[in-house]
Chains A and B, each alone.
Chain A
Amino acid sequence: CKNFLDRVPPSSLKENLVANKKGINALLIGVYGALDGQDFTDGDMTNLSGGAGFAVSPDNWIYGSVCGGDAHKGSDHFDAPPILDLARYTAGATNSFLNDKWRVDYEGVTRCNTVLRLLPQVTDMTDEEKTEVEAETHFLRAHYYSDLKKMFNMVPWIDETTTDMKTPNNKDIWPNIEADFQFAWEKLPLTQSEVGRPNKWAAACYLAKTYMYEHKYPEAEALFDQILVSGVTSKGEHYQLRNRFEDNFDAATENTSECVFAIQFDANDNSGTSANANQGEMLNYPYNGPFSCCGFFQPTQDLVNSYITDAQGLPYLDDYNNHSITTETLDPRLDWTVGRQGIPYLDWGVHPGDAWIREASTAGHYSPKKNVYWQATQDKYYDPRGWAPGNAINYNLIRYADILLLAAECAAQLDNPDKAQALVDSVRGRAARPESEVYLYKDDSAPMGGFQDVPAANYNIARYPAGTFSTKGKDFALKAIYFERKLELAMEGHRFFDLVRWGIASETLNAYFAFEGNLTLDVQGADFTKGTNEYFAIPQRQIDLTTNGGTNTLQQNNGYH
């Protein structure tokens, strides 16, 4: 009768069945599977922690872009209130999105640690094969940790050897992250047969970016120099900006020369759900238009004004908000980044302005654009399986323009203004190409019928005149580089983390609140507290769950309680 009670749990595998080559490879793919943080349960677009999918969107549209002043939360005032608290810097330790974000990043870490923990038990793999798995896993773990580090600053380091999961957050983990990327940089192959896997240059880029966060400029420069000369994508293509800016945001032209490391999204993949279809951005489509959801992530006036250019085609680095988009010239990247009235919205038609806005009084008049699919290819790249749209447009965690601008920043910090300017100009040069402008439709009533040769707005963009950076000095150079990152990488989830890295979050964001708060109600009266809001609160739930005998294991960040 004893056997009667010995039952093997159905539909799952015990450890002994996965500690082999096939199992390890599947577990490694599972680590990639956590990159988007998404799940789909009971017909709802959820995240791995059980909350809303968008709470942990891997492009950090909430934490990087909304919190950084690129965009409003959008929609109705009352839609997804935790985002509003984040945007206004009133989000405390009990904000549910922060807890989801924490848990989902640590799920990624846990998956990495599972691979590394089981790997020594595997007997049917060669040492080379094991090293390759280790290198990819270290790369991915460092990715998850760098996200945690940027969000929460002091976080516990848990690796495959950790037994006490209530580890204190009393150490700076940048060195650990560095070590993981270093390992990956040393051990990863030059190219990969599967494009979604990082190669050694991806590790180099991520490592260099890590150095930049640590302000280790000489180490960063050494790497950037190698990357600029020899860096190739996982497919072996030399890193190079695409001629057309929009190519970075179209599923048809992804994983090309500008892609350093991307999350591979897909549509209609037979999962029956939209979980793998950039679900974290499911809310970020114009409202009342041809999309089923939901009017979130509306670019700010402050961002839009940043694209105004002077007669030389250069940005107004300081007083851009004193200029008008209707009377002055514009950087064409504006119209690939922001949906605004009167401009063709990809091939969906001319953006009608407030008719596609849910509540202009709350969140202004603009729509997001970089994450939106084209009508002509919607059968391929649009996924209708959730209650809000999914799409197959990859999110580039690092694209080459990001690296060029980081390298520029590094050069400027190391007092090499000409090199810095050349790098900035290469980015501006691409934006200035005619392919990177938006053109009017041939026929507004048939937007899929193609474009005329007439630009949709009065574009004027140029490289900085030779010697500008060296003439105007380091401060100017840095300001110009910072501004260039804003323009180039807007709405891609980087802005807030950049501001913190540069140490200018407080003044920049309070100036933004002062300006934007006069225009929309959502950020009216919002305030950024210097010394506190540079990092988000450690989730109270995590502090509570890790107490030991009444003492907290996790210490809260400064200024939160």
Chain B
Amino acid sequence: PCAIAIPASVLHPQEQQEEVLLKQLFRQTEVKFGVSIAYKSELVKDQKAKVDLAACKSPEEVLDKVLAPFNLSYQKVREHFYLIIAKEVTHTSASDAVQRPVHGKVTDAKGAALPGVTVRVKGTATGAVTAPDGTYTLNIPGTGNDVLEISFVGYETKSVTVGSQSEINITLTENTSTLNEVIVTGYTTQRKKDLTGAVTVIDIGEMVKQPSGQVTSQLQGQASGVTVIGSGQPGQEPVVRIRGVNTFDNNTPLYVVDGVPTQSINDLNPNDVASMQVLKDAGAASIYGSRASNGVIIITTKRGTGKVKVKYDAFYGRQYPKGGNAFHTLNSQEMANLRWLSYKNTGTPLSDTLYGNGATPRLPDYLQPVGLMEGDPRVNPDLYYVNPNYTDQNDYNSFYYITRANKTGTDWFHEIFKPANMTSHNLSVSGGSDRGNYLFSLNYYNQQGTLTNTYLKRYIIRSNSQFNLSKNIRVGENLSFSVTDNPVVDLLTASGAVGMAIREQPIIPVYDIKGNFGGSNGIGLGDAMNPVAMQYRTRNDRGQVNRVFGNIYADVDLLEHFTLHSSFGGEVNSGWRHNFTYPQYENKENAGVNSYTETTDFAHNWTWTNTLNYHNTFSKVHNLNVLVGTEAYDERTREQIGTTQDFFSFDPDYVDNGTGAGGQTIRSTRYSAGLLSLIARVDYSFNDKYLISGTLRRDGSSKFGANNRYGLFPAASAGWRISQEAFLKDVRWLTDLKIRGGWGIMGNQLSLTPGNAFTLYGGNKNTSYYDLQGTNNSVLLGFQQVQIGNPDAKWESDINTNIGVDATLFGGKLEVSADYFQKNIKDLLYNSELPGTYGTAPAPYSNVANMKNQGVDLTITSHTDITKDLKFDATVTLTTFKNRIVKIAKGVDYFDSQARNFSESIIRNAVGQPISSFYGYKITGFWNSQDEVDKADQEAQTKTNDPGATFQEAAAPGRFRYADLNHDGVINSDDRTFLGNPNPKVSYGINLGLTYKQFDFSMFLFGVHGNQIWNQVRWWTDFASSFDGAKSKTALYDSWLPDRTNAKAPIQEGEGSFSTNSVPNSYYVESGAYLRCKNVQLGYTFPQQFGNRIHIERLRIYVQAANLFTITKYSGIDPEIGGSDVRSFGIDEGTYPSQRQFLAGLNLTF
């Protein structure tokens, strides 16, 4: 029934019986069956055939029919991918020559036999095709200068001079051109060469080499246009930004996993990822409409193919925190010396409860009771009384502490950061046939943090399967279930465990004389907390997050050209976490309460997508693909947090919300939002040369008021494959060259609260309840406004322009993809601060702001065979973006945040500046003498005509001199300026790969350039007058003194001032540039023969080092400084540094 040809064109029915070019038939087959067919142009050049495609049930059937008349056959390389190959060439009877046989074997780079390879004597019709074991035999003419030409689709063609050899073994290298690669984009699949939008395809193999539990962390440096900033904390989701910052709130990209949109892929098993594409511009992403503005990352998970395959991948490693004196902290004696130095500088008598009296400070034997020496009756251990589990304030008030001084100094960083293990095991079983396919995988990941009591422990199982019910109906599911426990600490804040490790004085021991914690609870010891105690008290805290994510789907091929696709998917998240707050006793400021808190949450969302796809080719050259669809999205969450106080016992098996004797509080939150969408997409290409694509989406969101509920998001893009033009056909080194351009609008509504349109009221025990009856222990219900409504908020539009070029050179040896983009975000939704006269209820999101981003993304990939056995691959990705705030709100030119310990804010988000810019006074040097100060004051008095004027408040020798930027003769708040910003101008990744025979070596480098970090750690450590905590070597050895004017830090004093450390100034701004060797891996793949002997298909072992070295001038512990709030990031106040990881692993396939 398949024999009668009905060509594709319905426009020209008279052509029914006509033959069609093979090329076109392949294309039609590709579209109809959703497969990819690769071929060498020469093989099918000008050859025509006639086949009734509609009658064929499978691509195999088409190919069988089409290829039968020719010397061609096909090979199914993997699911959905076919290669057209030449059949064994019949021997010509070259009887006139002296023929002789030549034989050999063709293998790939890894030594696997390659069947179906054409081996031909150059310039003759003589040839052979390799057998299933890769061997061939043919008779050569024996002319003496015979050359064998070995060609195979997907591999580089190779020529070998025969000479006198009779056995010629050949290794073919894969043709690495990715032009025909089929990639998944917005609601469809496209060949890479047909793309008109800016899409980065990620090399999964390289990406998953990074030993991390998060795909998002592994993404760092692997994709141009994507900026990833993380930390060393296991399980911490890094900040991912696609093409810069697009809005003042949530900048998280949209992830689409197997067609299901989600906001988080934190528990996606990296081993399950089959492909990953980043849609960066409107042309590619705008089809996701209101969720496209932050960029879209499309992920497909693995499917099974062919015979049953069992794969086991595992690694085990050890992680080492940074060694040495992490914060350049002084030791105990030096701390005392610094205090004496500051006393001298300030003119304070050299006398101190802790360090005694006299010209040099002496370290006491005891901190508590303060300043005592050994032998004093007051340090008699019998007097000691501390009950760490006290429940009564009177008990606490009766404590008698005895704590010895740690005269050498406690290394607080290494008291909490220790070497730790990590391991990952992944097992997968997969297979497939024409009736369907399946994949089952199991992953166990356990990364202990180098910071004690932080870890990521996770189990994930996945089941993907598809059932081909008939030739035109396919149903399937993708499902992942994960269970995670991931306790984390607060970073980049002085009150976190790392912040405390910076601040706690070295003279304080970890433990007191009886093994209870030591701390700042003495005199002259500052007010930091013991970080070891902080972490120890979290040891029994546990949590579990369960997440089911996936979808079920069906595809139905209809009529001739239509495919109906329906997918229902989403996720269910549920989890609990409990923690116990122990009373503190060792610190200066102790919280005496004991309490237990348990949080449970439940969240789900679902997405139902239905699309109808139409594909056809007209007049052989017009290729049209049309897709229309609908999508509904529903999201709901609920959370409950209960706290109970006052426990009889702190035993973890006893404490819960039912056993505490004291007050109980319970709190709930709920959330509900929905989206309804219509989707349309048209892709048209003419002669594979001119490509046009248009998308349109209409989104309706429950977050907007009825007036502006629906938004339209159009995009158009076009491509021109210049290399297909006649004038470039002959340029042989130019395999492919395409110019792309696109324009479109993307939207964003992530940050809006469900109640944005409404003025709402509610009660809050802290802020609106009141003890009106004067009971002293209870409150009456009271209400307040909890939301100011804005019914008129409308969609913001991210107007996006993109110009790009893709070039493939030397048959894929070099590929370059470059894009220039501009994003103008108009009507940006922002809950800009309202004047105080509105009250303090949350301001609604309104369309007030504008922002602009522009930049260049660049990817260069090259593959070189240096020698027969030595191959070299390199990929460089480059991301640049320049962010500017264009408008914040009418009449609002800036907003500040992050005062930290200053009286003014560090960060100013201002019109004309990049987001999160650092703001403050610019230091021009030190005041080196009182004369300089007096002179400046006199000048100020002349300039301002004010005889009482001073140039700069608190100016004095050794303090900072600020720049008078507005030249008004005095330093005041108008002289503040922008001192830097944390947005890198450039971030880049370099993947290098070498293979030599069975060995493979790879290295991945990542770097950023052109960003600044606000090193707030220096505020704590470089100024004696900042809080009385641990101080740095800089403070003691590199601070200003009359005879040390060429210093880094200012004079060390008892009191800080405007001219030292009470206002933000340029002292803290440092370059954040760094280059990090993220990963070095050396692998060895056992030869095929070895594997065959033990019935293993493939066995590879490797050793690896991650974060081996970092080149940076940044003086802090780690230059990778993020911060989740886009309006205030880049402030380092104690981060979780990346640790060195050394691993050994294996990849095993049965």
Q: When the two chains form their complex, are residues A267 and B776 in contact, meaning their CB atoms are under 8 A apart?
A: yes
B348 within 8 A of A: yes
B632 within 8 A of A: yes
Q: When the two chains form their complex, are residues A165 and B523 in contact, meaning their CB atoms are under 8 A apart?
A: no
Which A63-101 residues have a C-beta within 8 angstroms of B? 76-79, 81-82, 84-85, 90, 92, 94-96, 99
Partner of A4, one of B674, B759, B839, B972: B674
In the complex with contacts A196-B771, A275-B766, A95-B783 CB distance below 8 A: no
B671 within 8 A of A: yes
B777 within 8 A of A: yes
A519 within 8 A of B: no
Minimum CB–CB distance from A114 to chain B (whole Å) comes to: 6
Residues of chain B within 8 A (CB-CB) of A10 are 670-672, 754
Residues of chain B within 8 A (CB-CB) of A50 are 840
A502 within 8 A of B: no
In the complex with contacts A267-B776, A271-B765, A76-B835 CB distance below 8 A: no
A470 within 8 A of B: no
Q: When the two chains form their complex, are residues B760 and A276 in contact, meaning their CB atoms are under 8 A apart?
A: no
Partner of A292, one of B591, B782, B833, B896: B591
Minimum CB–CB distance from A63 to chain B (whole Å) comes to: 16
Q: What per-residue 1/0 map shows which CB atoms of A1-44 lie under 8 Å from chain B?
A: 10011110111111101100001001111111111001110000
Q: When the two chains form their complex, are residues A13 and B761 in contact, meaning their CB atoms are under 8 A apart?
A: yes
Residues of chain A within 8 A (CB-CB) of B785 are 110-111, 114
B833 and chain A: residue at smallest CB distance: A545
Which A368-419 residues have a C-beta within 8 angstroms of B? 375, 378-382, 384-388, 392, 394
Residues of chain A within 8 A (CB-CB) of B592 are 292, 384
Stretch of A200-208, A434-442, A484-492, A546-554 lying at the B interface: A546-554
In the complex with contacts A94-B973, A111-B839, A78-B1062 CB distance below 8 A: yes
A251 to B779, CA, bound (A): 16
A19 and chain B: residue at smallest CB distance: B761
A197 to B1056, CA, bound (A): 45
B923 within 8 A of A: no
Q: When the two chains form their complex, are residues B779 and A266 in contact, meaning their CB atoms are under 8 A apart?
A: yes
In the complex with contacts A7-B673, A38-B767, A49-B840, A294-B776 CB distance below 8 A: no
A39 to B1026, CA, bound (A): 28
Q: Among the interface residues A162, A197, A292, which one has the most CB atoms of the partner chain B within 10 A?
A: A292
A190 within 8 A of B: no
Residues of chain B within 8 A (CB-CB) of A266 are 771, 775-779
A162 to B397, CA, bound (A): 54
B832 and chain A: residue at smallest CB distance: A545
Residues of chain A within 8 A (CB-CB) of B893 are 544
Which A493-550 residues have a C-beta within 8 angstroms of B? 521-522, 539, 541-542, 544-550
A35 to B779, CA, bound (A): 14
Q: When the two chains form their complex, are residues B760 and A7 in contact, meaning their CB atoms are under 8 A apart?
A: no
Partner of A81, one of B632, B665, B676, B902: B902
Q: What per-residue 1/0 map shows which CB atoms of B657-692 lie under 8 Å from chain A?
A: 000001111001111111010000000000000000
Q: Among the interface residues A9, A15, A99, A375, which one has the most CB atoms of the partner chain B within 10 A?
A: A9
B1061 within 8 A of A: yes
B781 and chain A: residue at smallest CB distance: A26
A35 to B833, CA, bound (A): 22
State the majority secondary structure of interface residues on B.
Answer: loop
Residues of chain B within 8 A (CB-CB) of A547 are 891
A264 within 8 A of B: yes
Minimum CB–CB distance from A283 to chain B (whole Å) comes to: 10
In the complex with contacts A1-B676, A11-B669, A271-B665, A79-B774 CB distance below 8 A: no
B894 and chain A: residue at smallest CB distance: A544
A60 within 8 A of B: no
Q: When the two chains form their complex, are residues B784 and A33 in contact, meaning their CB atoms are under 8 A apart?
A: yes
B contacts with A, residue count (CB < 8 A): 100
In the complex with contacts A12-B761, A106-B836, A254-B774, A78-B348 CB distance below 8 A: no
A194 to B665, CA, bound (A): 25
Residues of chain B within 8 A (CB-CB) of A394 are 774
In the complex with contacts A266-B777, A387-B591, A361-B767 CB distance below 8 A: no
A150 within 8 A of B: no
In the complex with contacts A11-B762, A12-B786, A544-B891, A110-B973 CB distance below 8 A: no
Q: When the two chains form their complex, are residues B393 and A542 in contact, meaning their CB atoms are under 8 A apart?
A: no
Residues of chain B within 8 A (CB-CB) of A293 are 589
Q: When the two chains form their complex, are residues A197 and B760 in contact, meaning their CB atoms are under 8 A apart?
A: no
A28 to B953, CA, bound (A): 46
In the complex with contacts A544-B893, A545-B835, A30-B768 CB distance below 8 A: yes
B1054 within 8 A of A: yes
Q: When the two chains form their complex, are residues B776 and A276 in contact, meaning their CB atoms are under 8 A apart?
A: no
Minimum CB–CB distance from B800 to chain A (whole Å) comes to: 26
Minimum CB–CB distance from B338 to chain A (whole Å) comes to: 16
Q: When the two chains form their complex, are residues B1062 and A165 in contact, meaning their CB atoms are under 8 A apart?
A: no
Residues of chain A within 8 A (CB-CB) of B765 are 269-273, 275-276
In the complex with contacts A5-B701, A6-B702, A288-B523, A78-B835 CB distance below 8 A: no
Q: When the two chains form their complex, are residues B1026 and A546 in contact, meaning their CB atoms are under 8 A apart?
A: no
Q: When the two chains form their complex, are residues A269 and B778 in contact, meaning their CB atoms are under 8 A apart?
A: yes
Partner of B782, one of A26, A110, A378: A26
A contacts with B, residue count (CB < 8 A): 114
A367 within 8 A of B: no
Q: When the two chains form their complex, are residues A76 and B393 in contact, meaning their CB atoms are under 8 A apart?
A: no
Q: When the two chains form their complex, are residues B783 and A27 in contact, meaning their CB atoms are under 8 A apart?
A: yes
Q: When the two chains form their complex, are residues B901 and A33 in contact, meaning their CB atoms are under 8 A apart?
A: no
A547 to B911, CA, bound (A): 15
A127 to B787, CA, bound (A): 29
A548 to B1027, CA, bound (A): 42
Partner of B779, one of A39, A276, A545: A276
Q: When the two chains form their complex, are residues A273 and B781 in contact, meaning their CB atoms are under 8 A apart?
A: no
A471 within 8 A of B: no
A114 and chain B: residue at smallest CB distance: B785
B837 within 8 A of A: yes
Residues of chain B within 8 A (CB-CB) of A156 are 837
Partner of A7, one of B397, B754, B838: B754
Residues of chain B within 8 A (CB-CB) of A257 are none
A268 within 8 A of B: yes
Minimum CB–CB distance from A407 to chain B (whole Å) comes to: 26
Q: When the two chains form their complex, are residues B674 and A7 in contact, meaning their CB atoms are under 8 A apart?
A: yes
B1063 and chain A: residue at smallest CB distance: A81
Which B993-1023 residues have a C-beta within 8 angstroms of A? none
A365 to B588, CA, bound (A): 19
Q: What per-residue 1/0 map shows which CB atoms of A316-333 lie under 8 Å from chain B?
A: 000000000000000000
Which B875-897 residues have a C-beta within 8 angstroms of A? 891-894, 896
Minimum CB–CB distance from B566 to chain A (whole Å) comes to: 17
B633 and chain A: residue at smallest CB distance: A4
B1055 within 8 A of A: yes
In the complex with contacts A32-B772, A268-B777, A77-B1056 CB distance below 8 A: yes
Q: What per-residue 1/0 map shows which CB atoms of B735-752 lie under 8 Å from chain A?
A: 000000000000000000
A92 to B632, CA, bound (A): 53
**Subset of 23 A-B contacts with CB under 8 Å:** A14-B758, A33-B768, A49-B836, A50-B840, A77-B1025, A96-B905, A106-B839, A106-B840, A111-B784, A111-B839, A196-B771, A268-B663, A269-B777, A276-B766, A276-B770, A294-B589, A384-B592, A385-B593, A521-B1054, A545-B834, A545-B835, A545-B892, A546-B891
**The 10 nearest A-B residue pairs measured at CB:** A110-B839, A272-B665, A9-B755, A29-B782, A275-B766, A271-B765, A30-B782, A10-B670, A30-B768, A12-B760
**Chain A interfacial positions (CB closer than 8 Å to B):** 1, 4-7, 9-15, 17-18, 23, 26-35, 38-40, 48-50, 76-79, 81-82, 84-85, 90, 92, 94-96, 99, 102-104, 106-107, 109-111, 114, 156, 158, 162, 165-167, 194-197, 251, 254-255, 264-273, 275-276, 287-288, 290, 292-294, 355, 361-362, 375, 378-382, 384-388, 392, 394, 521-522, 539, 541-542, 544-550, 561
Given A196-B774, A387-B591, A545-B836, 12 further pairs, Cβ under 8 A: A11-B670, A13-B783, A29-B768, A39-B767, A49-B836, A76-B527, A78-B1056, A81-B903, A81-B1062, A269-B778, A273-B765, A561-B974
